[in-house]
Structure 1
Amino acid sequence: MFSLIISGRKPLELHKWRYLRDSLAFLQNPSAFSISFSSASAAADVSRRKGNNFTVSYLVESLGFNTKLAESIWRKVTTEEAKCCNPDSVLTLLRSHGFTDSHISTIIRTYPRLLSLDAESSLAPKLRFLTSRGASTSELTEILTKVPKILGIKKDKALSRYYDFVREIIIVADKSYYSLPEGSAQGNKLRNVLVLRDMGVPQRLLLPLLISNHHVCCGKEKFEETLKKVVEMGFEPATFRFVEALRMLYQLSDKTIQEKLSFYGKLGFSEGDVWEMFKKNPSFLPLSEKNVLNSIEAYLGLGFTRDEFAVLVKCHPQCLNYSAELVKRKTEFLVKDMNWPVKSLVSNPTVLGYNLEKRTIPRCNVIKALMSEGLLGSELPSLGSVLVCTDHAFLKRYVMKHGDDKKLVAELMAVFTGGHVS
């Protein structure tokens, strides 16, 4: 029925089908669909026995995540990483070093890419190295659970340096920063970290800042000035944007900031516009003028007017961070292939940040299938109703509403997952 829509598309693992079936069970009568879903379940079981790939269903079944959280984590890993990894070996390795399921769940929520790393050639040597330096099991699990990105560092020297510093931060966590020595970079860093801690910045945001390539916490006067600006702008210390704003402003001098404001002023953005955009996405401010101009050229070349571009960026400044090639691929698919007008993207700018292969194309294939059968009328549904919602809401709206037709639901799910269901 939908072979033309499915053909030519790279199949996704049927694990995703199994997860979607389970997560939507309460929307339908399980017994009524047991026959339709049996082949998909069997295929998923066979695939899982061959080797557990990094999929949504794997996260649900192996780590106990709820489906919404698993879906969010899965999207943070590229398709290639998900295909090549062997998460079972990573979990086995971590457990052999004393990590509990609670530790592992926390680590994967913070650093999903860990499951895509090679257990034997990448992770095992690092764990052995840290253990050989005297790290106890309790210390190792505590520090790596709080800052798992340390395991992504490639060189032993850098790994050792960052691990030792994070360890020292944790040890002095109960000290007053007034009692720390002044003058040295290390003393400044410890003091600044404790200041941020006392303001309410959680360790999950604070400690990764210490192992980044930025030196936000090394200075004294510059740190204090930048922190004051961020606080006055109203950023909440417990949020990621607070730390991101601190990082972005710290690396820019007052002169550079004025030059940025002047540049955006020439493009038609007021100073107030720029700071409102900064509050939504601090990382846009350091972008070079060349990158911004190239971005403008890319959007205009795709049919956006200058006014539409301005609205797009004010609402969703992350659009400036996207590569021209990626914006072109997504816009051409939505506008040329799906026939949504450009103004729909302006009204729903977040769609430009969605994963094309994992989110946009599967949903749009379902819409194409429904329209080809005359089940949606002659007009295309709104872009927002198709893409700006969870998988659960999308399937409830466009697939499960046809629950009285078991064959149709199974075929639509096959289109959605990229696999055939017999």
Structure 2
Amino acid sequence: MYTTLILNGRRCLVLQKWPNLRFAVSLVQNVSAFSNPFSSASAAADVSPPQDGRKGKTFNVFDLVDSLDLTRKLAESISRKVSSDGKGDPDSVLNLLTSNGFTDSQISSIITVYPRLLMLDAEKSLGPKLQFLQSRGASTSELTEILSKVPTILARKGEKTISIYYDFVKEIVEADKSSKYVKLCHSLPQGSKQENKLRNILALRELGVPQKLLFSLLVSDFRSISGKERFEESLKKVLDMGFDPTTSKFVQALHAVYQMSDKTIEEKVNIYKRLGFDVEDVWGMFKKFPQFLIYSEQKIVNKVETFLGLGFSRDELAMMVKRFPQLLGCSSETLMKKTEFVVEKMNWSLKAVASNPAVFGYNFEKRIVPRCNVIKTLMSKGLMGSELPPMSLVLAITDEAFLTKFVRKYDDKELVAELMTILTKGRVS
């Protein structure tokens, strides 16, 4: 058995031993989302597939997640959590899930959402919870579907709490399948946290908030969906602002508004006014990135100082923040690293960066560095002339568009293979 997750069987893997895990797979450094169609053999061919105790056959390490698109960051995070915890037996957890009817794709989904499930004690913790749900009449298909959608139900303690959340999700799923509104009633103490949470989530469901967001809220500890009058007031404000309930920004705005009183919101707006923003600008940024309004004045000032220290003018900073307020959430280290790379390594101007602030939201190792290295390689070979392409043309287009424009257009197969190697290795040069 193994416990790592990878993208579509295309990525290179190396096996390594962990104290409490029979088989494990970790991502090779510098993996990119691009596949290399010119490699002579799959990297997996060099990895001896572990024996799968679940099904009594040789099991290829790619099979479990052949349809799961995981980012490198997530896969590495899961690996660190499992290997460093030192508790439980991930192998036993995976075997237990399989024996209870969960498919490979369902297990992949569960581990992606709730990687700490692998650290649970299969015999003392996870097993009894599954047995309890089955004892209440849950069929195998129902059990696997519900827990695949909301695996963090298994993190809850107490049979009553698990029952309440499980039944709630089940009713929502069944109601949505039939496309009929079902009045969900639960005998919970009036005014209790759980009663408020279920009522509020139902209100959000009626507004069109998707299942995925609803169920995440259900098992969260956010105060914004556990209140009553405050929740209703916050919900009205967010709706009046024009947020679309079907988007994640709606939920983010609800969290932000719930956390702040009208006085606090006014104080936050005044901070940005002192920095030269109009009130209309502030609310325009809030629509793009609701979290930015909860930042402390010190954090905002620190970001301003970082940008000014990098050489941007106050006018350029204001323009960037209006276009891409998410950059205020980036660490100063990230802002400096990306700016220095595109300016010093690629020779794009600060003005070009200011005109393309979304660059601060792109993945440095998987997008910025590999693409820039392809461009530098083409220029060094005299295939692009001496003029650097616009930053937006290199970094803002989709993966497929980049491949078409800068890689696959060449008839030289050796050159194309070289460019693909640069993309897949994502090396910094």
Q: TM-score when scaled to structure 2?
A: 0.75
Aligned with residue 74 of structure 2, among 77, 82, 96:
77
Per the alignment, do residues 21 and 269 of structure 1 end up closer, same or farther by CA in structure 2, a change over 3 Å counting? same
Distance across 1 between alignment mates of 2:389 and 2:101? 51
Q: More deviation in 408-417 or 313-322? A: 408-417
1:196 pairs with one of 199, 204, 208: 204
Cα offset, 1:319, TM superposition:
0.5
- 1: CA distance, partners of 2:361 / 2:121: 31
Which of structures 1 and 2 has the larger relative contact order (alpha carbons within 8 angstroms, sep 6+)? 1
1:363 maps to which residue?
371
The answer to whether the aligner puts 1:398 opposite 2:400 as a matched pair is no
Gaps of 5+ in 2: 1-26, 52-59, 84-89, 173-181
Structure 1: which 5+ runs fail to align? 1-11, 23-35, 52-57
> In the alignment, which residue of structure 1 is the partner of 2:101?
98
Alignment partner for residue 259 of structure 1, among 267, 282, 286? 267
For 1:37, give the aligned amino acid.
Answer: S
- State the AA in 1 paired with 2:35: L
TM-score for both structures, normalised by structure 1 = 0.77
SS of 2:383's equivalent in the other structure is coil
Between stretches 370-379 and 179-188, larger displacement belongs to 179-188
How has the CA–CA distance of structure 1 residues 307 and 129 changed in structure 2, closer, same or farther, with 3 Å as cutoff?
Answer: farther
**Which sits farther off after the overlay, 281-290 or 132-141?**
132-141
Could you report, residue by residue, the CA deviation over 1:47-95 in whole angstroms, capped at 9, with x for unpaired residues?
47489xxxxxx99965453xxx83xx32552656568979x96876643
| 1:148 partner letter | P
C-alpha separation in 2, matches of 1:251 and 1:18 = 37
CA distance in 2, matches of 1:118, 1:212: 16
Match of 1:352 among 350, 360, 374: 360
Equivalent position to 2:150, from 147, 152, 157:
147
Cα shift at 1:418: 2.0
Query: 1:267, CA displacement in angstroms?
Result: 0.9
Picking from 299, 305, 326, the partner of 1:318 is 326
- Of the three residues 391, 403, 414, the one matched with 1:407 is 414
Matched residue, 2:39: 37
- Name the CA shift for 1:163/1:369 in 2 (closer, same or farther; >3 Å): farther
Question: Quick one: distance in 2 between partners of 1:161 and 1:179?
Answer: 12
Q: 1-side partners of 2:29 and 2:382: how far apart?
A: 27
The CA distance in 1 between the partners of 2:335 and 2:229, in whole Å, is 40
Which has the larger helix fraction? 1
Could you tell me which amino acid in structure 1 is paired with residue 166 of structure 2? R
Pair 1:168–1:80, CA change in 2 (3 A) = closer
- One of 13, 16, 21 as aligned partner of 2:36: 21
* Residues 298-317 of structure 1: pairs in structure 2 closer than 5 A: 298-317=306-325
Distance 1:104-1:290 versus aligned 2 partners, 3 A rule: same
Are the aligned partners of 2:352 and 2:391 in contact in 1 as well (CA < 8 Å)? yes
Aligned-partner Cα distance in 2 for 1:59–1:363: 29
Percent identity of paired positions between Structure 1 and Structure 2: 48
Distance 2:333 2:30 in 1: 30
The amino acid across from 1:353 in the alignment is: G
Match status 1:418 vs 2:422: no
- Which of residues 265, 279, 286 is equivalent to 2:294? 286
Q: Tell me by how many angstroms 1:197 deviates.
A: 1.0
The residue that corresponds to 2:396 in the other structure is: 388
Distance 1:20 1:299 in 2: 36
